[in-house]
């Protein structure tokens, strides 16, 4: 009986760890693991497309900048935006200077991760990024593609969305990125 209880106890605590395994073949040096209030999202960073932007996201993740940061703008059918670890409302950046754009012809589609920027300046990306829910080809060549979701798109789909017709897609009581880590740093 004690062995059975011990086995069940061990299994209960092992299941979350097994469920959190990373995709096979993932370059852990260039991947972000984003634990959210809805579950885990794994992003493969596209250092081949946007090396400066990838380095910025890894630096900020290692500094804990993204921990407890909300998905402040979530528009059903379009995208979920986050990354404002300064003001937490979508108006802030980081202590680092803005980045020069790294635009490519890589299309924005479901699971694509792009860098947010001010609409009036192509060289204004800093810390904020977004994940596309579906095709967003109207962004092609106008925003930097920084990565792609390789695990957890079902989690992205569960994020609390702004009410239909809301101005700017702002979310009241939004879901958060609880902890963001470079995959190679996870012990």
Nearest Cα neighbor of 130 from 150, 151, 108, 152 is: 108
What secondary structure letter does DSSP report for 26?
A: -
What is the dihedral sign for C-alpha 23, 29, 51, 116?
positive
Taking the model in full, what pTM does it have? 0.89
Which pLDDT score, from 0 to 100, does residue 2 have? 53
Instruction: Give residue 56's domain range.
Output: 28-185
Residue 12 lies inside a defined structural domain of this protein: no
Nearest Cα neighbor of 115 from 180, 174, 43, 171 is: 43
Which pLDDT score, from 0 to 100, does residue 18 have? 40
**pLDDT tens column, 78-110:** 999 999 999 999 999 999 999 999 999 999 999
Q: Which stretches within the chain are classed as H helix? A: 2-19, 51-62, 153-158
Query: How many domains does the chain fold into?
Result: 1
In degrees, to the nearest 5, what angle opens at C-alpha 75 toward C-alphas 74 and 77? 130
Neighbour-count burial of 7, counting CB atoms closer than 10 A to its CB (0-12 exposed, 13-18 middle, 19+ buried): exposed
Which pLDDT score, from 0 to 100, does residue 120 have? 85
In angstroms, how far is CA 55 from the centroid of its own chain? 14
Residue 85 lies inside a defined structural domain of this protein: yes
Provide the greatest CA pair distance for the chain: 68
Nearest Cα neighbor of 32 from 83, 71, 72 is: 83
Low-confidence ranges of the chain (pLDDT < 50): 3-19
Residue 167 lies inside a defined structural domain of this protein: yes
Neighbour-count burial of 122, counting CB atoms closer than 10 A to its CB (0-12 exposed, 13-18 middle, 19+ buried): middle
Residue 5 lies inside a defined structural domain of this protein: no
Residue 10 lies inside a defined structural domain of this protein: no
- 19 Cβ partners below 8 Å, 6+ apart? none
Residue 180 lies inside a defined structural domain of this protein: yes
CATH code where residue 64 lies: 2.40.100.10
Residue 138 lies inside a defined structural domain of this protein: yes
Which pLDDT score, from 0 to 100, does residue 167 have? 75
Question: Residue with structure tokens 């979701």?
Answer: 149
Question: Residue with structure tokens 């959210």?
Answer: 36
CA 8/CA 169 separation, integer angstroms: 44
Residue 11 lies inside a defined structural domain of this protein: no
């Amino acid at each position: 009986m004690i062995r059975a209880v011990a086995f069940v106890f061990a299994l209960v605590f092992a299941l979350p760890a097994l469920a959190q395994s990373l995709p096979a073949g993932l370059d852990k040096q260039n991947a972000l693991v984003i634990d959210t209030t809805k579950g885990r999202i794994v992003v493969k960073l596209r250092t081949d497309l946007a090396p400066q932007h990838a380095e910025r996201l890894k630096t900020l993740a290692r500094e804990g900048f993204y921990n407890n940061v909300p998905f402040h703008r979530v528009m059903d059918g379009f995208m979920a935006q986050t990354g404002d670890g300064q003001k937490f409302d979508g108006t802030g950046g980081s202590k680092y200077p803005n980045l020069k754009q790294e635009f490519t012809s890589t299309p924005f589609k479901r699971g694509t991760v792009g860098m947010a920027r001010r609409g009036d300046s192509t060289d204004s990306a800093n810390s904020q990024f977004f994940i596309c829910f579906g095709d967003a080809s109207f962004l092609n060549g106008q925003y930097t593609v920084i990565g792609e979701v390789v695990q957890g798109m079902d989690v992205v789909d569960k994020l609390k969305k702004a009410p239909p017709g809301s101005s700017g897609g702002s979310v009241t009581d939004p879901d958060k990125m609880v902890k963001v880590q470079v995959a190679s740093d996870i012990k």
